[in-house]
Amino acid sequence: MSKNKIDVTHISRLANLPLSEDEKKELGSQLEDTLSYIQELNEIDTKNTDPTSQVTGLENVTRDDKPTDSLTQDEALANAKEVHNGLFKVKAILSNE
């Protein structure tokens, strides 16, 4: 396996995880170990195996367009850190120039 250096900073940002430099080092090498372990799958001959993204064998599991009961507003907001007039409140997201 070609040992591509993993960009831990990039990955941690995508995962929304603030990591210290030490953590980045530690998790980086762990991630590399994980990847090389999974790489072992490449040794299996898959010439006669159809590609698939699932293993249940299920297909077309759908529901009819029938409305069912929802949670109440209070229930929906029960675990919110901050609430304002029935809305979830978070720190501003867009930075407009």
Least Cβ distance, residue 82 to other proteins (angstroms): 8
Residue 78 CA, distance from chain mean position: 24
| Amino acid at site 49 | T
What are phi and psi for residue 51, nearest 5 degrees?
-65, 145
Residue 84's SS3 state is strand
Nearer to other proteins, 3 or 91 (CB): 91
Residues 37-96 that bind other proteins (CB under 8 A): 53-54, 56, 58-73, 76-77, 84-96
Least Cβ distance, residue 49 to other proteins (angstroms): 17
Sign of CA dihedral 91, 88, 20, 30: negative
Least Cβ distance, residue 61 to other proteins (angstroms): 5
Residues lying near other proteins in the complex (CB under 8 A) are found at 10, 13-14, 16, 53-54, 56, 58-73, 76-77, 84-97
